[in-house]
Amino acid sequence: MKERLHRLECHFARHPVWFVTACTWQRAEILADAGVHAALEEFARNGPERGTWLGAYVLMPDHFHAFVALDDERLDLSSWMKSLKNALSKDLRNAGVPSPHWQKGFFDHVLRSGESMSGKWAYVRENPVRAGLVKKAEDWPFQGEPHTLEM
């Protein structure tokens, strides 16, 4: 079996900003929910205590996109994603949504310039419009930016 490539985070002298995407199990439409949104906001508020910073994000019904920065060497991106998924799953279980909630793994991309971040955000924030959920991106209630991330 071929050995998987290791994530790039261990090769950066400074802490990068990551763009991450995770999908629900079988693309179940369970994330565009006030309770899930509140759980994500709480997770973000508690992040700096653990050296994690959640930037702009969009919760879609069956996936989410987010920007994140980690400044604590004890925590890697995979561990952060596991914690985030667990926090949101706790809310989903409390709301009676049966497990599993998440596809295994996630997509990640390290951002290399401020322009890359703004370009990605412009695309991501239009997801609810392209999906026909709202007419204007700013009308989508399941998005936010708990922390401003700079590159």
Residue 149 in domain: no
Q: Which position has the token pair 């700013």? A: 138
Buried b (16+ CB within 10 A) or exposed e, 71-83: eeeeeebeebbeb
Bridge partners of 69, per DSSP, are 17, 53
Contact 58/122 with Cβ under 8 angstroms? no
How many domains does the chain contain in total?
1
In a domain, 105, yes or no: yes
User: Could you report the per-residue pLDDT of 93-132, keeping only the tens digit for each?
Assistant: 999 999 999 999 999 998 887 667 888 889 899 999 999 9
Which residue range is the domain that position 100 belongs to? 8-144
Instruction: Say whether pLDDT at 92 is over 80.
Output: yes
For 35-83, what is each residue's pLDDT tens digit?
Answer: 999 999 999 999 998 889 999 999 999 999 999 999 866 678 999 999 9
CATH number of the structural domain spanning residue 21: 3.30.70.1290
Residue 150 domain-assigned? no
Q: Give me 54's structure tokens.
A: 């959640």
Give the predicted TM-score (pTM) of the model.
0.86
